[in-house]
């Protein structure tokens, strides 16, 4: 059974001006997402600035999200590391605080071989009982999960069930589904949501859903219901917004967008810095043209 089908939000982490996590705002954003039809919340991922959270903050944020959601929709927790031992620890702790599933990124910086990836993910899966979604994002980690590796893991490890495919390659997504049809395929690129669903994907783990959750949910539902003509029109209509939200390193633009929309999500954590003036105006125009700002 799928963890979710449709639109999962890669949720931002709001901070106070002093840099602490703003749990009051976090609760408001979670409620907004649920009320807007979001099908899953992915907490402490790249968009949530997980790389700049302490261990204590990481687990506290997951626990808070789980308790706030209270079983209304699934919560998937980011729990990856470039150290297998650390990834196991993060995964175990996420399971302890009630996450429904894990998002496990490929080891970054030190990298490894495809055989090393298999051993890494097998060890993580053996330490927990909840489902795991692999996360392949070579642009950030320098390491791709090859389709044959996905097949070996999904075929042989019961709780490795899916992949967030963020290679930017529709061809790779097609190859994964062709050789491993049972895998739960999620787009990790907002611009490829509908194309990936057209070749067997079941949804997206979305940055855009932070600012337009109902829109992304509805687009995914049209695709899931086979109305790809309507879904494709929605995909093309959001293209400018997608480009604006990735005009600088994610989550710099989306955090700025949330602040523009009045959510008061606060600053970024360094080394991420505020959006440039030129891109701020680009983003403001895109939000206005899309009907999110007046």
- Does the active-site annotation cover 5? no
What pLDDT was estimated at residue 2? 86
Q: Which residue has the tokens 């494709």?
A: 232
Number of domains in the chain: 1
What is the mean predicted confidence (pLDDT) over 17-29? 97
- Does the active-site annotation cover 90? no
- Kindly state whether residue 247 falls inside one of the protein's structural domains: no
- Kindly state whether residue 189 falls inside one of the protein's structural domains: yes
pLDDT tens for residues 54-87? 999 999 999 999 999 999 999 999 999 999 999 9
Annotated catalytic residue within 5, 63, 164, 255? 164
Annotated catalytic residue within 90, 135, 186, 263? 135
- CB pairs under 8 A, 24+ apart, for 259-262? 260/284, 260/287, 260/293, 261/211, 261/287, 261/292, 261/293
- For residues 294 and 279, give the distance between their C-alpha atoms in angstroms, rounded to a whole number: 18
Residue 3, strand partner residues: none
Residue 1 — very low, low, confident or very high, per pLDDT cuts 50/70/90?
Answer: low
- Kindly state whether residue 289 falls inside one of the protein's structural domains: no
3-state secondary structure 43-99: ECCCCCCHHHCCHHHHHHHHHHHHHHHCCCCCEEEECCCCCHHHHHHHHHHHHHCCC
Q: For residue 112, what are the domain limits? A: 6-228
- Kindly state whether residue 119 falls inside one of the protein's structural domains: yes
pLDDT tens for residues 171-189? 999 999 999 999 999 999 9
Q: Which residue has the tokens 């330490």?
A: 127
The rounded percent of the chain whose pLDDT value lies above 90 is: 99
What pLDDT was estimated at residue 204? 98
- Kindly state whether residue 244 falls inside one of the protein's structural domains: no
Which structure tokens are listed for 198?
Answer: 């057209």
- Kindly state whether residue 121 falls inside one of the protein's structural domains: yes
- Kindly state whether residue 157 falls inside one of the protein's structural domains: yes
CATH assignment of the domain containing 60: 3.20.20.70
- Kindly state whether residue 277 falls inside one of the protein's structural domains: no
pLDDT tens for residues 189-244? 999 999 999 999 999 999 999 999 999 999 999 999 999 999 999 999 999 999 99
- Phi and psi at 145, nearest 5°, equal -95, 110
């Amino acid at each position: 059974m799928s963890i979710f089908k449709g639109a999962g939000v890669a949720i931002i982490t709001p901070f106070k001006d002093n840099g602490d996590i703003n749990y009051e705002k976090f609760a408001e954003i979670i409620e907004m997402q649920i009320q807007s039809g979001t099908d899953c919340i992915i907490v402490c991922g790249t968009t949530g600035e997980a790389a700049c959270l302490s261990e204590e903050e990481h687990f506290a944020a997951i626990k808070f999200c789980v308790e706030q959601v209270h079983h209304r929709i699934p919560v998937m927790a980011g729990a990856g590391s470039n150290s297998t031992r650390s990834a196991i620890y993060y995964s175990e702790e996420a399971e302890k605080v009630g996450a429904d599933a894990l998002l496990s990124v490929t080891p970054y910086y030190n990298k490894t071989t495809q055989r090393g990836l298999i051993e890494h993910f097998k060890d993580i899966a053996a330490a927990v009982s909840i489902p795991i979604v692999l996360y392949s994002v070579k642009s950030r980690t320098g390491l791709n999960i090859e389709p044959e590796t996905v097949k070996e893991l999904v075929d042989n490890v019961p709780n490795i069930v899916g992949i967030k495919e963020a290679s930017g390659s529709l061809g790779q997504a097609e190859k994964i589904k062709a050789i491993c049809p049972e895998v739960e395929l999620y787009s990790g690129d907002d611009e490829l949501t509908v194309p990936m669903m057209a070749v067997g994907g079941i949804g997206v783990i979305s940055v855009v859903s932070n600012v337009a959750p109902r829109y992304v949910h509805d687009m995914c539902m049209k695709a899931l219901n086979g109305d790809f003509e309507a879904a494709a029109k929605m995909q093309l209509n959001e293209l400018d917004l997608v480009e604006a939200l990735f005009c600088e390193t994610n989550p710099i633009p989306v955090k700025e967008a949330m602040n523009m929309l009045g959510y008061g999500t606060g600053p970024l954590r360094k080394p991420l810095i505020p959006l440039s003036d030129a891109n701020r105006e680009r983003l403001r125009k895109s939000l206005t043209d899309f009907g999110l700002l007046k």
